[in-house]
Structure 1
Amino acid sequence: MIAPSPSSTTSVPSPAGPASARSRTAALVAVLGALTAVAPLATDMYVPGFPAMGDALGASSSAVQLTMTAFLAGLVVGQLVIGPLSDGLGRRRLLITGSVGFVLFTFACAVAPNVTFLTGARFLQGLAGAAGMVLARAVLTDRFHGAELPRYFAVLSQVMGVAPIAAPVLGGVILSVSTWRAVFAVLALLGILLLLAVIRGVPESLPPERRHSGGVASTFRAMGSLLARRTFMGYVLVIALVSAALFAYISGSSFVFESLHGVSSTTYSLIFATNAVGMLIAGAVFSRLAGRGVRLNTLLSVGVGISLVGALAQVVLVLAVGESLVGTWVTLFVTVSGIGLIFPGGMSIGQAVGRTAPGAASALLGGLQFFLGALASPLVGLFGEDSSLPMALIMLIAVAAAGVALVGLARPWQGHGEPGDSAKHVSG
């Protein structure tokens, strides 16, 4: 007996139908969220093991730090290559290939005999891991439209906010019972689980008839056309510059709170977690308000305004009052909470404006985000370690520049990328 096809049963409503569809959607978003978390986890989980890694490999601290730079470089290059390719080849094949590569290169990191080998493996690990990040956004853009899209982008943004915070904690737990090599072994195991989840739960979202024809050259021409569009690049720069502020905060806050204000590592973790909760709450607020029809450009603009107020207050506080534990905590909480609105808003609008080439749009949104973030991270330490002012100024400059990009290039009052406003997706 041949089972009826799904199309043959669509005329007979099934009570379980909507619930089943919601369950499949939730499972898909969960896998895409996990793919988004891989890169932040792989970036930061091994950081607590830097000293032991240097001793084991006979490498200097700068050589060990270069392994992180190599990973971030791979992550940027991977997104810029894989995203556009997926517009012509489809998402699933590249996603599976990237997931396999991530597992293999992570195992290579775990058995690295020297720091040179580890640096090369980390670059390739980032290159392969980029597939999950860039294609998760592209799949969402393929599958969802209207008010659904910003709601799911809010989920990915919350994952991106929490993963860098959780990663060092997870790494510390692993290092308390094993060596730095075990961190990579755990990452490889996570990669295997994600590979199985992708094979089972992420179907192809870009059918052949919707793919770019003309081969690889055509797909990269599509990226070039996006680079030439003022509106799209405005939203890209907003995301990238705010990411630079966030990376400066992540790299500098431990020094500010532990060295300058003398708090314990446990107290610092509490402060960091509290600020992360602010970002999560902001993401939840974004999702709820966007679902009720509030304009995405309004929410994005409010987020930039909130972050700008927080960053400016932090600088003014240091200059006028001096170092203040509570003041620094509060102003950083405000700044990071604003970022919780900016990420889902900017990603949703950017992907909508670039919907003609979702993979290329995702590549530019994610690639420049990590590129500027990687540049901003070491700046805090370069400008001195006797004040929180360098971190505060770098964050303020980055957020202020994001505001300039928003007003001068994106021009949110024009309403680009709003749900249902398809005419503006191809303009600007």
Structure 2
Amino acid sequence: MPQLFRFFTRHSTTLFFPMALILYDFTAYLSTDMIQPGIIHVVRDFNANVNLAPASVSLYMAGGMALQWLLGPLSDRIGRRPVLITGALIFTLACFATLFATSMEQYLLARFIQGTSICFIATVGYVTVQEAFGQTKAIKLMAIITSIVLIAPIIGPLVGAALMQFTHWKVLFGMLAVMGLIAWLGLLFSMPETIKKTDQPFSATAVVNDFKNVFRNRIFLTGVTTISLSYIPMMSWVAVSPVILIDDGGLTPSEFAWMQVPVFGAVILANIVVAKFVKDPSSPAFIWRAIPFQLTGLITLIAGNLLMPHVWLWSILGTSLYAFGVGLIFPTLFRLTLFSNDLPKGTVSASLNIVVLSTCAACIEVARWLYFNLGGRIPFHLLALISGFLVVWCLAKLLKRIQDRDNMLAVNIENS
């Protein structure tokens, strides 16, 4: 028993904490992905309009934005550990609450609360990983975490579709609640504290000043814009693909689930490449090599659907190619943006996530409007194409500003 205790203590930060965080993150992803094949059944179960189906994702994203302003500064002052542990408990209770929903409004409210898990994971959990490890190790560890977590969009729809053949969709949320409880217990016993608590009071003025300082940083602004635009094609696909493939395409929930495998499998493959084979993932040369994959995928979306408008497989192929390109550089973009200044990282991460999630939530609604009101897949995919070309422009500016900053620091060191 003493040896087991010493082993747990020695490896709690390097092994058990990442495992608990992965389970929490994995379960949060599953809360969207596992129910997506049955979202049309949820809507019909509550006698609601099918147009509300994508709102399950957009409200989840809105929930992920709601507490960012609070959690980042709060974790900078009272510590990362109590904030993340509380978030895991809130998510677990919200999953249990879904079991008692009797209307679409109640279901969407529960989804909103479940979405706050994004606040805790991205603003506190990921920042703890970045603070506990050096740059290269943190980037590769985040790639590993992302690879494992993104199995959820692959197996989630498959498991959800299979389970809904013989059980009610609410049972899925009961399973998620149990998984969330296990993750909460894991964090409770293994999460390290990476900051020293300060006597600085939690005041509105101090919080506002911290956020102002973050948004005055040009590297941060360019980085967060690049990340936000990179998310748009993927998140809009997650939200609207059930309507495209099931409601309009005639696929069964199981067939829909299999169609998501190449999309999220591409992200996992990209993260494996980064974690196992890339020596310096922050190298500009490597970052630029990922861009052709993204642009090829986006062009395939438009060209394929124009040439063969009745073959929706072009949407799968194009989105998969784009996903591979994004997966190669996303951990690096997050790291570069997070460490764009010397301000408290909880506040920086909160600022980043506020912009990214609000952009995603808004663009999901725009994508939904384009699909339902302007003629289907072509207008819908044009949004992704425009976002992709803007990513290239913003990425060039981001790398230039980082290079200028590093050159200036080198000159100052020489002069001193």
Is 2:254 the counterpart of 1:272? no
In structure 2, the partner of 1:373 is: 360
Counterpart mapping for 1:393-404 below 5 A:
393-404=382-393
Counterpart mapping for 1:322-401 below 5 A:
328-354=315-341, 356-384=343-371, 388-401=377-390
SS of structure 1 residue aligned to 2:193: coil
Measure the CA separation in 2 of the matches of 1:98 and 1:340: 26
The letter for the 1-side match of 2:68 is Q
Measure the CA separation in 2 of the matches of 1:397 and 1:215: 41
Aligned length: 405
| Unaligned segments of structure 1, at least 5 residues | 7-15
Measure the CA separation in 1 of the matches of 2:410 and 2:110: 43
In structure 2, the partner of 1:85 is: 74
In structure 2, the partner of 1:225 is: 213
Measure the CA separation in 2 of the matches of 1:171 and 1:212: 47
Is 2:265 the counterpart of 1:303? no
Measure the CA separation in 2 of the matches of 1:31 and 1:79: 21
Measure the CA separation in 2 of the matches of 1:422 and 1:199: 43
Deviations 1:189-224 (A, max 9, x none): 11111110111111222222xx58342442442222
1:241 CA drift (Å): 1.0
Counterpart mapping for 1:63-74 below 5 A:
66-74=55-63
Counterpart mapping for 1:179-258 below 5 A:
179-208=168-197, 211=198, 213-217=200-204, 218-253=206-241
| Unaligned segments of structure 2, at least 5 residues | none
SS of structure 1 residue aligned to 2:135: coil
Is 2:128 the counterpart of 1:139? yes
Measure the CA separation in 1 of the matches of 2:342 and 2:277: 23
SS of structure 2 residue aligned to 1:310: helix
Q: Percent identity?
A: 20
**TM-score, normalised via structure 2 length:** 0.83
1:300 CA drift (Å): 3.2
Deviations 1:28-85 (A, max 9, x none): 2222222323332223333334344345445444566545443322111123321222
Measure the CA separation in 1 of the matches of 2:156 and 2:384: 22
Q: Taking structure 1 as reference, are residues 192 and 395 closer, same or farther at Cα in structure 2, changes over 3 Å only?
A: same
Deviations 1:67-108 (A, max 9, x none): 544332211112332122211121111112212222222222
Q: Taking structure 1 as reference, are residues 164 and 361 closer, same or farther at Cα in structure 2, changes over 3 Å only?
A: farther
Measure the CA separation in 2 of the matches of 1:37 and 1:267: 22
Deviations 1:230-268 (A, max 9, x none): 111211111111111111232344555668877766555
SS of structure 1 residue aligned to 2:151: helix
Deviations 1:83-138 (A, max 9, x none): 22211121111112212222222222211233333333333332355313321111
In structure 2, the partner of 1:9 is: none
Q: Taking structure 1 as reference, are residues 188 and 56 closer, same or farther at Cα in structure 2, changes over 3 Å only?
A: same
The letter for the 2-side match of 1:344 is P
Measure the CA separation in 1 of the matches of 2:411 and 2:202: 27
SS of structure 2 residue aligned to 1:178: coil
